Amino acid sequence: MKIYVGKGAGKHIVEALKGAEKRVVVVSPWIGREQAGFLKELARKVRMKVVTSGVANPGLDAFAVRRMEPVRVVLGILLIICGVLVWKASPLVGLGLLFLALLSFLVSSREVLPRYVTVRNDVHAKAYVVDDKVFLASANLTPAGLFKNVEFVVELEGKEAEEVIREVEKL
C-alpha cells in the first residue's frame, strides 16, 4: 500500500491511467472535459467502465457521441423518393416532401453516452482501477482534484486490490 497526500497527489492516478494496458474503471462524481476526452480515447484500447454523476458534471457531454436514429433515416429516404416522384406532377408538393426529408435528417441524430458510461446521481466515491491496481482517493477526476487541491490517494495492489476491484465492478 502506498499513500500520497497533498497538492498533486492525483498525478499518480494520471500516470497509471496513461500506462493502462487491460482495463480501467473510474468511479468519480465529477470528471473534467479533458479527462473525459482522454478516457474516451483510452476506451479504444482497454476495457473501460465509468460510473459518474449526471448532476452538473462538466465532462459528461465530452463522452457523448452522435447516433443516427434508423427509423428517421428511413423516413427521410422515403420522403426523398416520394418528393422526386411527385415533383413532375406537382413541384410545390415535391419541394414540401424534400423539405420534410431534410428536417427528418436534421433531427435524426442525438447525443448518447457510450455503453461503458453509467450515470448514477448517488455516486460520491472516488475509485480508480487501472489493470490490477486500485487507487482510492478523495480526488475527483478533474484538473483541480488531480493537481490543485490538497487530496489523498491510497494505491493498492495484490489481494487488497482484488477485493476492491470485485466491489467496484458491481457498480
Residue 5 has a CB neighbour count (10 Å cut-off) of 11
The single residue listed with the C-alpha cell 482495463 is 23
The pLDDT, as a whole number, for residue 111 is 67
The pLDDT, as a whole number, for residue 105 is 75
Return the CATH fold of 2-64+113-169. Answer: Endonuclease; Chain A (3.30.870)
pLDDT in tens, 3-47: 999 999 999 999 999 999 999 999 999 999 999 999 999 999 999
Cell numbers at 167, concatenated: 466491489
Q: Is 70 a residue whose pLDDT tops 90?
A: no
Comparing 13-22, 80-89, 155-164, the range with the smallest average pLDDT is 80-89
CA 121 to mean position of chain CA atoms? 15
Residue 107 has a CB neighbour count (10 Å cut-off) of 11
Residue ranges per structural domain of the chain: 2-64+113-169, 67-111
In the 8-state DSSP scheme, what is residue 21?
-
The pLDDT, as a whole number, for residue 136 is 97
Per the prediction, the chain carries an average pLDDT of 90
Among 39, 68, 42, smallest CA distance to 51 is for: 39
